[in-house]
Amino acid sequence: MLHTDDHRSRTIRERAYKLADTGLYDGWRSIETALIGEGWPNSRSVLASEFVRRTLDDRCAAAKRIETAH
């Protein structure tokens, strides 16, 4: 993997986590769609990790719980 690819992947993951924390998304699939819409076509491969997907789903659920608590 090239250094720029690693940087791009990290940038995509960080953006995905920020989106998850908004409470606006149901899980990794909707975040993947949003990222592709933002111009990150390689989001699918970056989010292919089961760990990343679970983390995104967990963060989405936590953000939704916070939103409903307010």
Distance CA 55, CA 23 (A): 14
Instruction: Round the average pLDDT of the chain to a whole number and report it.
Output: 92
Distance CA 18, CA 25 (A): 11
Domain tally for the chain?
1
φ/ψ region of 23 (left if φ > 0, alpha if ψ in -120 to 50, else beta) reads: left
pTM of the model: 0.87
Instruction: Quote the pLDDT of residue 1.
Output: 47
Range of the domain at 27: 3-69
Cβ proximity of 31 and 47 under 8 Å: yes
Kindly report, residue by residue over 58-70, the tens digit of the pLDDT: 999 999 998 777 6
Q: Is the pLDDT of residue 3 over 60?
A: no
Kindly report, residue by residue over 34-43, the tens digit of the pLDDT: 999 999 999 9
Residues 6+ apart with CB under 8 A from 11: none
Distance CA 21, CA 63 (A): 5
